[in-house]
Chain A
Amino acid sequence: MREEEKSPVRGGAGISRRTFAIGAVGSVAMLGLGAVKLVGAESVVRPPGAQDENAFLAACIHCERCREVCPRHAIKPATLESGLLNLRTPEMDYHRGWCDFCESAEGGEPLCVRACPTHALRLPGLPASEHVRLGMAVINTDWCLAFQAMGCHECVDACTFEAMGVNDDGTPYVIEDACNGCGACEHACVSLSSGSISVGATDRAIVIVPAEGEVLHG
């Protein structure tokens, strides 16, 4: 198919050797660019409905409408640091907001899913909070203030899906079956923002990590 397009001699005049060369090099570049997919990219925490990474990447045209409509500003454009393939694709930003799946205000369908014009965000079912798992909360016990006996339980208080509990010694734990990665805990975590209490901390003490396309069945 490409060969046909590039055929230089049809029509006599028209196509010069230079045009042919640019077309050929450009075409090869396009194919090479596609091969970026084979290299892969870091997995990032995606908005609701993007949990099947392959289906998501096929449809996302980086238009950023999901980011624009998010009422909690919980979506940011992924940057080069998470891979060329991910550049400009939506990623959850729990430092600025968390995902309540728009359940309180929008009757269950997240605005980002509704806004996505190419069906890159597509839910397996409603309500979203029961059907998708954006990621999984993970506690860093070195950085968590509760593990330093400081009595902090901000994350446990923030969790709206009953996915966190407190041990007898006051340290929090994640109930993995109940966690859907909404990020309220990470959003609430004060370990990093309330001064450099934990030595060497580079991120919050509870963060959401990608859940590798897991889909909950509710």
Chain B
Amino acid sequence: MTSVDLLTRRSWLRRSALMATGMSLSGWLGRLAARAADDPRRKRSCILLWMAGGPSQLDTFDLKPTHANGGPFKEIATAASGVKISEHFPQLARQMNRLAILRSMRTREGDHERATANLRTGYLPQEPIRFPSLGALVSNELADLDADLPGFVSVLSQGAFAQSAVAAGFLGPSHAPLVVAGSGETLKVEDLKPPSVSAQRSRERLELLHKMEANFLATRRGTATASHVTAYDRAVRLGREAAARAFDLSQEKDSLRDQYGRSLFGQGCLLARRLVERGVPFVEVTLGGWDTHDNNFEQVKSLSGVLDPAWATLIADLKDRGLLDSTLLVWMGEFGRTPGINPRNGRDHYPGAWSVVLGGGGIKGGQTIGRTSKDGSIVEERPVSAPDLMATICLALGLDPKKQNLSNVNRPIRLVDPAAEPIKEVLA
């Protein structure tokens, strides 16, 4: 498709979107029109390291080495004075000045699906409202809709719990995550390039398509056709050389790729940096396997070995490129794990007292917030709810948590539940 064609298609979309204000078209299309008028310059980005399954706080960032619940792991000192973390995070320990640990998460959902939905959207599932996930909310606020790359990229999320909770919900397809899947050692966007068709032939096909459906689109204006046009437009732009290159990790030095670790998650963190560097406002990278009902310690040790180099290198790499101050880092799962160790040497689901780590742009690093009891079972100081956390994340990104979006039930919904109290002391 030529750039002129594209321009025509896009300006058509704009026009039809603007027309929508006078028609009965509701929902995302109207909002698309409103966005088009906004200043597209974005300020911040967010990388979410999503620990699917619920990581054990007692074996990562809130150790209880003197209590029977503590398990075998030792604490080590970090670059931040007084802040201690697991011995299996030696590289991360050196970056601790950039990170703040929230040790007093207290939520109520102990079911993977519901808890995932709760932490990803900031709301409890409430059918039929389709709450957008954090990624979609951030994309809606900060993405440049004219950019070739999408506003929300989800790396390695396939097969995770509650897929619907990581989606765009009522914010519509422009903010749906682009999924980057992994297999073996490689990450890729499925079907980004036509397998065996020349660029010339691809172009000809798209021109043919454009002509062929022009009459249909013109006589059937509305959300269905507009969404079809938007999706194809974005898919084609994504396939363009420069955009597609963002996903090509072979452009990076081997030594840097090694530092991140040759795990899928490690390479995913590197990809996150490449995307943020190119203006993508929200990238999430999933590391699964934290649902450690059995053999908790072996599994957490092994996962820590993947997490430590990837995350620590990400911080250093962002810093080297001058991106750390504008990139918020969030490390969390859907809940924590029981302080008590079960007979299978495992830990079960525990939403009552657990940890989340924030870092990078907008965050005052090198500190811990909140405290759990000696046995780790209750929050003794500064309980933090899922909405509190969401509001804090919004503020760190420069977003107003009280801003409203129109939902699919035609009711305005705030970015974050208005009962939320942001954790002011963690904000820079």
A, B from the same assembly:
no
A contact set with B: CB distance below 8 Å: none
